[in-house]
Amino acid sequence: MRRPKRQKLPNTSETPPRGSWPGPQPLESQLPVTGGAAPPWCPGETQHEPLSLPTALKRAVLSLLPACCARFLWSQPDQLRLSKFFLGAGVGGFLALGESGQYLWVVGRNHRLSQPHSHAGVSALGWGVSPHFRCASLLVAPKFLGKEGRLYLLTYVLAAVYDGPITNMRHNLDEVIRSVGCTVELQINHSRQIWKVSTAPLRAVLHDMVGGRTLNAETRNVSQAFAGLNEQVASEAGYGVRRPRRAQGQRTPSTQQLYEQKTKLRCKYVIDEAIRRCQAWFDAKHKACLQHIAVPLISHLLCLPMKFKFLCHVVQVMHTWCRDKIPVEGNFGQTYDKVNGSVAGISQDFSAQLVHEPQDALMGVNVSRERLTEEVTSHMRQQSVRLGQAISVLRLLLSCTFLFIFISAFSYTNHYNHDIRFDNLYVTTYFRQLDARRWKQKKRTLLPLRRAEVSGVIFPCRLAMQPPELKSLVSGGQGPRWYRLFLAARQCHPCGSSHHLEVRVGGRSLLARLLRSTIGALNTSSEMALESTNLACLPQPQAMAQSDYLASCLPLGALVLLCLGQVYAHRLRRVIAAFYFPKREKKRVLFLYNQLLHERQAFVRLQRRRITRHARRHQKPLLERLYLWCPLLRRCLRRYCVLCGSPESRASQLCPTPTCGTIYCQPCWRDMGQVCFACTPGHASLSGDSSSEEQMTYTD
């Protein structure tokens, strides 16, 4: 990037360029603005004549219509009064009759205006005598292109949607209801067949249980197998039978207690029997020893160990083990009692009775196909009637939107004439004329606007949408929703069922044999094939005609176009109001110009103070310091205007001071008075900042 040439400080005696800061000037005579909330610095119109340059509307009329028509349209209010009255009355009456016909077409022939001729007379009188009435009537056209027009068009959208998709949907819903009833009956038939096949093994088991032959044979086997265990538990062998006396009132001992007591007695009996047999063995061995040794004294000495029968009493130590560590489970008695009772119950005669109870529907609800279809159809019919009534009321209310459009047009005219800030954002031809006149008078100008100022105004001659218009477009946009209707496919539905159930019970125990004899009946296999079609149950959908699609989509497309055309309709409102109230339009443009001028002065004053404050603190941006310290980075670094932040260009102005390096764009350099306050914070212009700015005049 080429570095701009350094420039010297300008001579104050030279003529400042356009948009520069002039020296002190006397205040011009000003009149206050009437009819609006204007600040004290906003002047009104002065005594001198306005500029005679034609506006864009006037140039267009001159190019399209004869010169006499243009002279008639731009004549003074006190000229051609009679011609204006009769022409306005004719136009107003014709428009009133057209509006009445439009209303009858929207609402219908059953709703007629009570006095259409009086409505036409009032409109003709208003057009003949009142410019406010003429302006408000013409503002109806741009209002139709705005949000009021979209609300008006919504009437046709609702009517087309109700007559097309909603009516078609009602017909298709009736078919769906019929299809639901038929499908439910078809599913019930399929479920009945599948249920019979799946429950066949269980029914076979139940019928076998009713017969009872298999279970009776198994119960006899169980009783015989349990007889040995019962004899073992109830036996009193292995110990001396001694029935202890039970005190009166004492509870009968349980099976667990009796079995533990028997086990202890049997253990003690075994130990005592072992001691007795041990002593008998010693006696027999002593006798045999004496018989083999004939010498009397020697035989008694050698056979003396056979007299040690006291060794047999060592086994009495086992009495403690029998008492404390008896090998009996703690729940043996309880388990024995339960098994004994079960075996006793099984040993009785087995009997079963199968009760068959027919049931019409599940959960006790008996709903037939006809009743289900009738209830759903009745409910849908009630909802359709309510929807039709709501649509009728809504259409009647929306038909009154034509009146709302008139009220909105009159409201715009009223705000335009009484609120000077209302819809005052347009840079018009008169705005440019004011700026050109100030440039000729060597005063400060506004054009071209700064980047921050462009986002708050509208240029009417530009076709592109501008930021203020985009905000209103986003806030007022409508997003249409689209719905799709899907058609059910006709097809044949094969219903089949097959099962292979196999229950394997292992083991050789009693319970295993019992389960194999009963549940083993479930080991069956079956197959079922049923071919059914749903052709009779499928709905017969009715497709929408092409005209219905057009009637539904065209209003929606018109809504989208109205959303896009709202921007240009808002510009047309200002053009119509400015045509009927040219003096008011000049006041509004003058107010906007002075407001932007004041904001420009406030912004420059604030930025000058900020730059001066940073200069006094010796605080420079990091980018500027890198640019000055490292010349190699100057080709890579892109600097910005210290005032407005615009990127550096060839037209940018570099501070003349070599050690400063502050960059300005050309408009900001002129606004700063061609003085860099970053390197000269104590400049005389800063001390006289307030006085010089107060002497800056506003446009008149």
Higher pLDDT, 165 or 497: 165
Please tell me the predicted confidence (pLDDT) of residue 594: 92
Assess whether pLDDT exceeds 60 at residue 123. Answer: yes
pLDDT at position 63 = 73
Give yes or no for residue 117 having a pLDDT over 90.
no
Report the 3 state secondary structure along 378-440. HHHHHHHHHHHHHHHHHHHHHCCHHHHHHHHHHHHHHHHHHCCCCCCCECCHHHHHHHHHHHH
User: pLDDT-based confidence at 577, cuts 50/70/90?
Assistant: confident
Is 419 in contact with 37 (CB distance < 8 Å)? yes
Q: Give the pLDDT band (50/70/90) at residue 12.
A: very low
Listed range (14-18, 175-179, 690-694) with the worst mean pLDDT: 14-18
pLDDT for 211 beyond 60: no
Distance CA 505, CA 516 (A): 6
Residue-level pLDDT at 48: 35
Cis amide bond preceding 327, omega within 30: no
Position 457: which residue type? V
Residues in the chain: 700
Sequence-distant (≥ 6) Cβ neighbours of residue 143 within 8 angstroms: 149, 405, 408, 409, 412, 569, 573
- What is the structure's pLDDT at 116? 56
- Report d(CA 205, CA 569) in Å as an integer: 86
Residues 232-242 pLDDT 10s: 777 777 666 55
Q: Which residues pair with 532 in a beta bridge?
A: 493
Nearest to residue 402, comparing CAs of 152, 204, 621, 156? 152
Q: How far apart are CA 266 and CA 253, in angstroms?
A: 18
CA neighbor of 164 nearest in space, from 560, 557, 550: 550
Is a pLDDT exceeding 80 seen at residue 96? no
Instruction: Give CA–CA dist 287/280, Å, rounded.
Output: 11
Residue 399: is its pLDDT beyond 90?
no
Is 343 in contact with 220 (CB distance < 8 Å)? no
- Of 447, 467, 446, nearest to 456 by C-alpha is 467
Could you give the count of Cα atoms lying within 13 Å of 301 in the half-sphere of its Cβ?
Answer: 4
pLDDT digits (tens, 9 = 90+) for 509-518: 656 766 666 6
| Unique residue bearing structure tokens 């006793």 | 344
Average pLDDT over residues 137-162: 77
pLDDT for 283 equals: 86
Per-residue model confidence (pLDDT) at position 686: 45
Coil, helix or strand at residue 527:
strand
Cα(637)–Cα(639) distance, rounded to whole angstroms?
Answer: 6
Higher pLDDT, 257 or 344: 257
pTM exceeds 0.75 for this model: no
**CA nearest neighbour of 494 among 197, 182, 193, 179:** 193
More confident residue, 634 or 640: 640
Range with the largest mean pLDDT of 35-49, 522-536, 538-552: 538-552
DSSP 640: B
pLDDT at 545 over 60: yes
Tell me the C-alpha distance between 376 and 112, whole Å: 40
Give me the pLDDT at residue 593, please.
Answer: 92
Question: Tokens representing 289?
Answer: 């020893």
Task: Work out the mean pLDDT of the chain and round it to a whole number.
Answer: 70
pLDDT at 608 over 60: yes
What is the average per-residue pLDDT within 27-46? 36
**The tokens of 408 are what?**
């909105």
The predicted structure's pLDDT at residue 489: 38
User: Is residue 697 over pLDDT 70?
Assistant: no
For residues 124-151, give the mean pLDDT.
76
- What separation in angstroms does the CA of 313 have from each of 161, 318, 461? 114, 10, 134
